[in-house]
Chains A and B, each alone.
Chain A
Amino acid sequence: MRYVALLRGAFALAWREGTAYRFSFAMSFLVIALPFTLQVFLWRAVFSGRASLAGYSFSRMVAYYVLALLLFDFVQPTLLYDVADDIKSGNLAAHLLRPVPYPLWSAGVRFGSQAVYLVVVALTVGLISWLLVVLGYLNPGEWSLERAAAFLLVFALAWLVGLLLSLAVSFAVFFTEDASGLSKVVGFVFPLFSGALIPLDLLPRWLQIIGKYLPFRWLVYEPIRVFSGRAALLDVLPALLAWALLAALLAWLLWRAGEARFTAVGG
Chain B
Amino acid sequence: MSAISVRKLRKVYLRPLRSGAGWLGDLFRRQVEEVTALDGVSFSIERGEFIGYVGLNGAGKTTTMKILAGILHPTSGEVGVLGRVPWKREPAFLRRIGFVMGQKQQLWWDLPAADTFEFLRTIYDIPRQKFSKSIGEMSEILGVAELIQTPVRNLSLGERAKVELIASLLHDPEVVFLDEPTLGMDVLAQRNMRSFFAEYNRRYHKTMLLTTHNLSDVEALCQRVIIIHQGRIIWDGDLDDLLNRYDRERVFRIAYEASGRLQEEKIEASKAEAARLLSEFSAKGRVVTFEEERLNLERVVARMLESAS
Contacts and interface: CB of A to CB of B under 8 A. Distances in A.
B94 A98 contact: yes
Contact of A12 (B97, B105, B119): B119
Is chain A's interface secondary structure helix, strand, loop, or mixed overall? Answer: helix
Q: Give the interface size bracket for B toward A.
A: 20 to 34
Given A94-B106, A97-B71, A6 B122 contact: yes
A13 B93 CA distance: 25
Interface string B68-82: 011111000000000
A13 B107 CA distance: 11
Given A13-B116, A16-B111, A94 B101 contact: yes
Which of B70, B89, B104, B125 gathers most chain A CB within 10 Å? B104
B110 interface: yes
B108 A99 contact: no
B71 A96 contact: yes
B46 interface: no
A93 B91 contact: no
Contacts of B94: 97-99
B139 interface: no
Interface in B49-102: 63, 66, 69-73, 87, 89, 91-92, 94-95, 97, 99, 101
A21 B70 CA distance: 37
B168 to A, nearest CB: 9
Interface string A138-165: 0000000000000000000000000000
B73 A17 contact: no
A126 interface: no
A100 B89 CA distance: 10
Interface residues of A, number: 27
Interface string A226-267: 000000000000000000000000000000000000011111
A8 interface: yes
A264 B97 CA distance: 20
Interface in B118-132: 118-119, 122-125
Given A6-B122, A9-B119, A12-B119, A20 B89 contact: no
A8 B122 contact: yes
B119 A97 contact: no
Nearest to A21: B110
Contacts of A12: 115, 118-119
B13 interface: yes
Contacts of A50: none
A146 B146 CA distance: 53
B12 to A, nearest CB: 10
B32 to A, nearest CB: 11
A266 B123 contact: no
A212 B125 CA distance: 46
A22 interface: no
A16 B111 CA distance: 8
A100 B123 CA distance: 7
B111 A17 contact: yes
B290 to A, nearest CB: 50
Contact of A6 (B104, B115, B123): B123
B66 A264 contact: no
Interface in A84-111: 90-91, 93-100
Contacts of B122: 5-6, 8-9
Interface in A195-242: none
A266 B63 contact: yes
A168 interface: no
Q: Which of A6, A95, A97 has the most CB of B within 10 A?
A: A97
A9 B123 contact: yes
Contact of B69 (A91, A97, A264): A97
Contacts of A10: 119
Given A8-B122, A9-B118, A93 B106 contact: no
Contacts of B72: 263-264, 266
Interface string A1-29: 01001101110110011001100000000
Contacts of A97: 69-71, 94, 97, 99
Contacts of A95: 106
Contacts of B116: 13
A179 B104 CA distance: 23
Contacts of B87: 263
B124 A13 contact: no
B123 A20 contact: no
A99 B123 contact: yes
B103 to A, nearest CB: 9
A2 B99 CA distance: 22
25 contacts: A5-B122, A6-B122, A6-B123, A9-B118, A12-B115, A12-B118, A17-B110, A20-B110, A90-B104, A94-B99, A94-B101, A94-B104, A94-B106, A97-B71, A97-B99, A98-B123, A99-B91, A99-B95, A99-B123, A100-B91, A263-B72, A264-B72, A265-B13, A266-B72, A267-B71
3 closest Cβ pairs, A-B complex = A99-B91, A9-B122, A99-B94
Interface of A: 2, 5-6, 8-10, 12-13, 16-17, 20-21, 90-91, 93-100, 263-267
